[in-house]
Structure formats: C-alpha cells, structure tokens
Amino acid sequence: MANNSLLILKNVKVLFTQFNKDDQFGRSITIDASSEDVQRAINEWYKDNKVGLVTAGRNKNESDYEAKPQYRDYKGVKQFTFKINRNIDPAFKSSIEGAKLTDVRYTSVVSLVVRAFPYDNNFGKGVSHSVDAIALIKSADAPDASSELELI
C-alpha cells in the first residue's frame, strides 16, 4: 500500500446515501464525480493504493491488477460510490447547528475522508476502502449555510 492511504475530497455534491446499517446493500455515499479534478484524485488514489486488488480467493495475481474505479453515468452525471464498511459510524462534522449524519442527502455538499485498507478474510484478500469522515458543508435545505471545516 502507498504511504498515503487517505483520499480527501472537498466540497463534493451528494447524489445518494445509504446509512442504514441493516440494509442488505450495505452503507454507502454516492457523489457527483463529473469534475475532472475529482476523477483524477480518485483514479490516482485507486492506483497508488491498489484499491480493488484481490490477491486470494478469486485466483488473481497482483501483476494482473489495473486501477479501475467503477464510475456510473446517469443522464450525463458521472457518479462514484464509496463504501462505509467500518464497524462504527464515520466521524461526522458540521458547522450547521443541529446537523446530523442523516442530513447528508441528495444535493448536500460534503467533504470526505476515505481510507484504503488491506483485508484478509474468508472471502478473499486484497485492498478495499471505507469512508472515515464526512463533513457537511452545505445542507440540501440551506443552500447558503456553512463554511469549510478542517477534517484533519
């Protein structure tokens, strides 16, 4: 793994969230990744950290690895989904009084910290990712609210 396993994305627009721990699809946050800067940051982070690499359990070799972030295109908007697979909720910050994690939803603007990490379990061995922190920058309900927060 690269020395910098963190990806920090500032001021990205939220397209979809799934924070329910009991949902069969798992927890995640989908962002608008149409910006070339956002795509470049994700692509470089994937490559540097070998995110998506599976070296056991699925008969893959590290030499076969290619960094391939899975973008989806919907009506001209490039989307990217980050997993939230830690056993605890991601750290949450907001300068919007009374804001909660559930206030992060469609059209909100957030900053994210995502961590790449190695795994080795019964399902395989490789490198995955998970959101470590979410900062709500602009609420979907209050388009002129809030200022940038320092996450780290």
Q: What is the SS3 assignment for 118?
A: strand
- Out of 29-33, 77-81, 100-104, 106-110, pick the least confident: 100-104
Task: Give tens-digit pLDDT for 10-24.
Answer: 999 999 999 887 767
Report the alpha-carbon angle 82-87-89, nearest 5.
65
Q: Which residue has the tokens 């070339």?
A: 36
Rounded CA gap, 98 and 114, in Å? 24
Task: Give tens-digit pLDDT for 92-106.
Answer: 888 888 888 889 999
- How far CA 115 is from CA of 23, 50, 86, 135, 148, in Å, comes to 22, 12, 10, 15, 21
| pLDDT at position 34 | 97
* pTM for this prediction: 0.83
